[in-house]
Structure 1
Amino acid sequence: MQLKYKIVTLSVLPLIVSVLFICVLVFAQSRKLEEQQAKLVESSIMAAKQAELKNYLELALSLIAPLYQSGRDDEQARQQALNMLARASFGLDGYFFVYDSHGKSLMHPRQADLVGKELIGMKDKNGLPVIQALLKSAESGDGFQLYTWEKPSTGQVTEKLSYVVMLERWGWMLGTGIYIDDVEVATHKSRQEVASGVLTTVLAIASFALIAVLVVFSGGLMLNFTEQRLADRKLSALNQRIVHLQEEERSRVSRELHDGISQQLVSIKFQFELASLELESGRGRGLDNLRAGTARLGEAIGEIRRISHDLRPSLLDTLGLSPAIDQLVREFEQRTTIRTQYECGLDDAEVDKDVSVTLFRIIQEALTNIERHSEASAAIISLSISPRAITLRVEDNGVGFDPGLLDRSHGIGLRNIRERVDHHRGTFAISSSNGRTELQVEIPRA
């Protein structure tokens, strides 16, 4: 073999071997990265879904809290709670279910044929006794259980993650769940993205290697002995270029994967994920991050509840006017420390829905004015009914004001009250002096 061919062979063979080794290494690393990425995506999504389930169940518990915490154990109270939970739903396939401690279905809004049946021995397609597992999870305090169940929107049996709690006094297991078929889709998409990035990297390396081989081979044919050093320098530079290209491509793939994931995660999810990683590694900041994330989540939930209640309290629609006013008074007392007495002399069944909303808003506006302007230490709210009208009185022992200045006032609170009363063709009167202010509203009965 001539020297120039030996030079070409000695240059090309190591290059080919190194490229093949790089490709094998990239594929091996890609498999590892693919598994890590899939596990990270899956754990992140599952953590988010667990947090979401807890939020939904907390909302359900708050919905029936007035009934449960009232101490009532009669069948009417329980049936009322079941009706409230049956009407509550979220998303296309989100609902709540209730079983007793013996596995009997008490409420299932999407599969009414199961209600009243003893399902303690029912198993899913994997042989898991579903109701037994849910009861065990609820009693242990963990609450989360993974099993297969029929998805209402498709009718297909799908993986489902549920969260359940025990209502000990009633002997109920209350729970809800989320179908997690999208987790498999997300992990599959993550694997595809990694595989696509690796394939692009390998093709780029192979392309550059092929170009390099052609350049080396073509140059080697024209080389002579005096050009061997130049050829060696070119080959060295070419090898270094391949190494740089490999590192740059890996960096690009890494940035794309990282940025793509970061855009899909919100800050609260990221904080829980960070706390999980730090707890696994034994670092002390994991618990702090977990508490901070929990606190932020609690603040967000609290703010949402507050805004939702201000816009329209759920009790007004579910339980009626009196429980809604009672809750409003309790919250007002806790917030302002103003002793407030609520006297109710009417049955919610006797009050029209529109009138209930009007009365609730008037009381809400009146309490706001007491809090802001009256400097009172006590207030009284009374509702009474007669054959002719419904009467509302709100009284406080504050500093009072001049009612004659109302028409020249720029405030809109009392103006809103007057407009609401006029809408129902009612009467509105207010009297005030130092130490006593009384607002009286009469709304005619239909």
Structure 2
Amino acid sequence: MSLDERMRAAALLERERIARELHDSLAQVLGVAHLRLHALAARPSVRADEPAHREVLDLAELCHEAYADVREAILALRESTNPDRTLLEHLRAYVATFSRTSGVPTSLVVHTGAEPCLAPCAEIQVVRIIQEALTNVRKHSGASGATVTVRALPHQVECTVADDGVGFEPADALSGDGFGLTSMRERAEAAGGGLHVDSAPGRGTRVTVRVPGRGVAASAHPAEATA
């Protein structure tokens, strides 16, 4: 086994260890805290005190949101620990699970006649960008649906995450970076590509990453569309 292969294997093992520890500790604590806070809020003495009741419910909602974030982090780590999966296999599995657990129906549409060919490091960055973009869909967009599209371009592979949510001003988001756009852009650049964000209030969001790679252009109809 080469040095690169050993380093990759060690990284995958470490990700699996972190995912397991997050599940066994933080995720379980947040889940229990959410349930106990709701039980506390249901007590007559707490319900009689409106400010206290509202505060307990707000804390319960914070625990629920943090629990969802941790669950997505665990999923992202575990989806990246299988070295035998191709890019499309990673995306099929992640999109299916995200659609089921987030409450946002999400589809994968593939416009390429063959598995995209990316460098291993670029493939990891692309998957993480898509995962981060979908996290934003769940947390910020209020969308009723989202689509992940993979397309073959000359000498490039393009992946887009689009939603029909509330949208935002990209310049404002970058200044506060509550959407992780800086991190996504750095990941795209690390893969030798670039990131483009198209959004405005009231018209949804499209996050597009293009990285060097090879794919076979499909016909005018999608090669694949899965919910």
TM-score of the superposed pair, with normalisation by structure 2:
0.57
Deviations 1:127-159 (A, max 9, x none): xxxxxxxxxxxxxxxxxxxxxxxxxxxxxxxxx
Q: Which residue of 1 aligns with 2:122?
A: 355
For 2:116 and 2:98, how far apart are their aligned partners in 1?
A: 25
Distance 2:175 2:74 in 1: 33
Task: In structure 2, give the amino acid aligned to 1:441.
Answer: V
2:203 is matched with 435
Q: Structure 1 residues 353, 312: CA separation in 2 closer, same or farther (over 3 Å shift)?
A: farther
Confirm or deny that 1:400 pairs with 2:167: yes
Deviations 1:49-99 (CA, angstroms, capped at 9, x unpaired): xxxxxxxxxxxxxxxxxxxxxxxxxxxxxxxxxxxxxxxxxxxxxxxxxxx
Q: Secondary structure at the match of 2:198?
A: strand
Q: 1:333 aligns with which of 94, 99, 109?
A: 99
Measured at CA, do residues 307 and 439 of structure 1 come closer, stay the same or move farther in structure 2, by a change above 3 Å?
A: closer
CA shift for structure 1 position 388:
2.0
Partner of 1:323: 89
2:182 aligns to what? 415
Change beyond 3 A, Cα 1:324–1:334: same
1:132-143 correspondence to structure 2 within 5 Å: none
Deviation at 1:387, TM superposition (A): 2.5
CA contact (8 A) 1:315 1:323 kept: no
Change (3 A) 1:308 1:333: closer
Structure 2 Cα separation of the partners of residues 437 and 306 of structure 1: 20
- Between the aligned partners of 1:428 and 1:402, the Cα distance in structure 2 is 16
How far is 1:348 from its partner?
Answer: 3.4
**Tell me, what secondary structure is at the counterpart of 2:171?**
helix
Q: Is the 8 A contact 2:136 2:179 kept in 1?
A: no
**RMSD after superposition:** 2.6
- Paired position in structure 2 for 1:387: 154
How do 1:237-252 residues align onto structure 2 when only pairs under 5 Å count?
Answer: none
Whether the 8 Å CA contact 1:345–1:384 is kept in 2: the answer is yes
Q: Whose Rg is larger? A: 1
SS at match of 2:88: helix
Rounded Cα–Cα distance in structure 1 between residues aligned with 2:170 and 2:117:
32
- The one-letter code sitting in structure 1 at the alignment partner of 2:172 is L
Q: 1:366 deviation in Å?
A: 0.4
Is residue 316–residue 323 contact of structure 1 (8 Å, CA) maintained in 2?
A: no
- Equivalent in the alignment of 1:368: 135
TM-score normalized by structure 1? 0.30
8 Å Cα contact 2:149-2:160 kept in structure 1: yes
Q: State the Cα deviation string for residues 327-369 of structure 1 (Å, max 9, x = none).
A: 1111111112211110123433622211211111011000000
CA–CA distance in structure 1, aligned partners of residues 142 and 116 of structure 2: 35
Report the Cα distance in structure 2 between the residues aligned to 1:421 and 1:307, rounded to whole angstroms.
19
Higher relative contact order (CA 8 A, sep 6+): 2
Q: Measure the CA separation in 1 of the matches of 2:161 and 2:110.
A: 12
How far apart in 2 are the matches of 1:373 and 1:341?
Answer: 19
Match of 1:313 in 2: 79
Q: Which amino acid aligns with 2:111?
A: G
Aligned length: 144
Deviations for 1:238-292, whole angstroms, at most 9, x for unmatched residues?
xxxxxxxxxxxxxxxxxxxxxxxxxxxxxxxxxxxxxxxxxxxxxxxxxxxxxxx
- Specify every segment of 5 or more residues in structure 1 that has no aligned partner in the other structure, as ranges: 1-304
The alignment-based identity, stated in percent, is 29
Once residues 306 and 413 of structure 1 are traced to their aligned partners in structure 2, the CA distance between those partners, rounded to angstroms, is 15
What is the Cα deviation at residue 372 of structure 1? 0.3
Do the aligned residues in 1 keep the contact of 2:141 with 2:204 (CA within 8 Å)? no
Give the direction of change, closer, same or farther, for the CA distance of 1:307–1:407 in structure 2 (3 Å limit).
Answer: closer
> What's the secondary structure of 1:317's corresponding residue?
coil
Distance 2:165 2:106 in 1: 13
Structure 1 CA distance for aligned equivalents of residues 128 and 143 of structure 2 = 20
Is residue 343 from structure 1 mapped to residue 109 from structure 2 by the alignment?
Answer: yes
Q: Which runs of 5+ in 2 are unaligned?
A: 1-70, 215-227
